[in-house]
Amino acid sequence: MMFLTLIRQELLIHLMSARFFAAVIITLLLVVANTFVLIGAHEERLADYSQRDAVNQEGIATTPTYSVLKLKVQRPPNPLSLFSAGLETRFGNDINIAFDSVPALSNPIVDVRAAEEQWAFGSVPSLSSPGAPLGLNNLYLHLFSQIDLVFIFQVVLSLLSLLFAYDAIAGDWETGTLRLVLSHPVGRGKVLLAKYLAAMVCLLLPVLMSLLFALIQCSFARSLQFGTDDFLRIGGIVLTTIVYLSVFYLIGLLISTTTRRAATSLMLCMFVYVVLVLVYPNWSRFALNPVGDMRGEKRSADQQITQIREAADRERDRFLARSPLKGDPPVFRETEGISNLFSGAGYFLLGDFPRVNLELKNAVDPLAIHFRRYYAFAAPLQIQNAEKVGFVGQQLVEQTSVRQARWDERLMKLSPASLYTFATAAWAGTDLDGMTDYIQTAQAYRRTLINTFHDRDAFASLQWFAPNQQSPIDWSILPSFRFERADVGINAQRALPAVLLLLGTNLVLFMATFLIFMKIEV
């Protein structure tokens, strides 16, 4: 009974206070203004997405041969980036799919050969990594940082929770109300719990209100459509927000119980806030470089790739020795019938020699059969090669970029504010794992593409390298690309470690506060 009275009293004190009112107003204003900006940005990304898609489709439709097919696939913009932008808005979007390059998260391989031996065997098998991010025609506008809704909660509401907490005990102690309260038949634990519960209810209010406002704004924008799964993900984000705010409230409560004066407690709270929310996440990423020098790994990967390429070159030379197409690829130039390549009629890609279109006079051209044999041999070799290079390259990416990103994450996670950022990004699917999913989908798509080529026996066909004006390639055979974001369950699994850490912090802080509060003199 007494417990409920306490909760009610605390609730009233908070809800009636001017600080609560001011904070709610500001949060709502910020949320509304930023949602407006974010919806605009999302629409821009959608427009860019469909424009790029149209360009890609057009490019495919006019492609004359199989080998020069420049296929790009795209990740549709994620509507949940409104809540947590994560990597979504700045990580590259479209990725080249080709038979001789494997999609990867990033491309750390410096191509030494490309510059020196531009005429060497075929296009150099390599990695393809995502190109420019969607949206923002004017890349200079990236100078202005983007803010997501989670950031507002992270900065403003954590401040509010500290402001609720700093005088919860110290203030009552100073004014003497603590003594009065404890003179009633109520345990100290219950007093603490009542304060905690009341504050959490009050903190939940601005979160839910701003969520409501944001969703109302979203419903006006036709471009944003949330499915059931998305609402579950948003639910996950709200839960994480509560756990996060609770951490800050408990930090405030702990400081409040350990200090005797509200003024001291306030100063400590403010500095803890500045350090945890503003300074540490930036500081750790700026000052610490835990992975250090990665040139060694790069060098060894470069060596491995060179070996793969040399082996492939030898194999090709062996084939060419038995073929009337003469020796080294540059000699292709002297081969009869190739000279019209340079008259500007066909494709002419530097370092891409065997992919060049030939203007064959007729299909029974004496050279045609040899070229067909050559490509029937060379294209699968290039695919095999690309996969080998892709394997080495992906390992290198794992060892360098991904490892570095993971370490940055781990170090940043020492601050609950960053834990919160990463947990919500995991819920929204905009984290590193979400991007890895995308790359994996692209890799799977490339394999389907190659299978389609195999099915049509494209490598051995004339249309692999020579266009046929009479019957252009029917590109509708291309499999369509669809990137589905991971399941809610998987999102939850990825968010779980960070959420558990936040919960653990809560528990430790609560226990510590409880123990100290039991012992202090009133």
Residues 9-28 contacting other proteins, CB under 8 A: 18-19, 22-23, 26
Q: Strand locations in 81-177, DSSP E? A: 95-97, 101-103, 126-128
335, 404, 448, 452: residue in contact with other proteins (rule CB under 8 A): 404
Q: How far is CA 515 from CA 180, 245, 254, 482, in A?
A: 20, 21, 10, 55
Q: Which of 367, 277, 276 is nearest to 325 (CA)?
A: 367
**Helix 158-165 and helix 262-273, axial crossing angle in degrees, nearest 10:** 160
Minimum CB distance to other proteins, residue 55 (Å) = 7
Minimum CB distance to other proteins, residue 512 (Å) = 21
367 is an interface residue for other proteins by CB under 8 A = no
Count of residues that interact with other proteins, criterion CB under 8 A: 72
274, 311, 345, 515: residue in contact with other proteins (rule CB under 8 A): 274
Angle at 66 between CA 65 and CA 68, to 5 degrees: 75
256 is an interface residue for other proteins by CB under 8 A = no
Minimum CB distance to other proteins, residue 263 (Å) = 8
- 152-181 residues in contact with other proteins (CB under 8 A) are 152, 155-156, 159, 163, 167
- Whichever of 408 and 437 has its CB closer to other proteins, that residue is 408
Minimum CB distance to other proteins, residue 349 (Å) = 13
| Count helices and strands in the chain by DSSP H and E runs | 17, 4
145 is an interface residue for other proteins by CB under 8 A = yes
Minimum CB distance to other proteins, residue 87 (Å) = 7
Minimum CB distance to other proteins, residue 461 (Å) = 32
Task: List phi, psi (to 5°) of 101.
Answer: -145, 145
- 94-113 residues in contact with other proteins (CB under 8 A) are 105-106
Q: Which residues of 158-177 are buried (b: 16+ CB within 10 A; e: fewer)?
A: bbbbbbbbbbbbbbbbeeee
Minimum CB distance to other proteins, residue 405 (Å) = 4
- Whichever of 100 and 167 has its CB closer to other proteins, that residue is 167
Minimum CB distance to other proteins, residue 146 (Å) = 6
Tokens of 358: 């030939």
Give the containing element (helix H, strand E) for 71: strand 71-73
Give the containing element (helix H, strand E) for 33: helix 18-61
Site string for other proteins, 30-49 (x = CB under 8 A): x--xx-xx--xx------x-
- Whichever of 140 and 220 has its CB closer to other proteins, that residue is 140
What is the full DSSP assignment across 205-257?
Answer: HHHHHHHHHHHHHHHH-TT----HHHHHHHHHHHHHHHHHHHHHHHHHHHHHH
302 is an interface residue for other proteins by CB under 8 A = no
Confirm if 106 and 299 have CB atoms less than 8 A apart: no
79, 206, 236, 281: residue in contact with other proteins (rule CB under 8 A): 281
Confirm if 428 and 78 have CB atoms less than 8 A apart: yes
Site string for other proteins, 372-401 (x = CB under 8 A): -----------------------------x
Question: Residue for token digits 């490309």?
Answer: 114
Task: List phi, psi (to 5°) of 183.
Answer: -75, -15
- 54-73 residues in contact with other proteins (CB under 8 A) are 55
Q: Which residues contact 90 (CB under 8 A, 6 or more apart)?
A: 133, 142
Confirm if 316 and 381 have CB atoms less than 8 A apart: yes
- Whichever of 71 and 268 has its CB closer to other proteins, that residue is 268
- 431-490 residues in contact with other proteins (CB under 8 A) are 432, 435
221 is an interface residue for other proteins by CB under 8 A = no
- 410-429 residues in contact with other proteins (CB under 8 A) are 412, 418, 421-422
Scanning 3-11, 269-277, 319-327, 445-453 for contacts with other proteins by CB under 8 A, the matching segment is: 269-277
208, 212, 216, 279: residue in contact with other proteins (rule CB under 8 A): 279
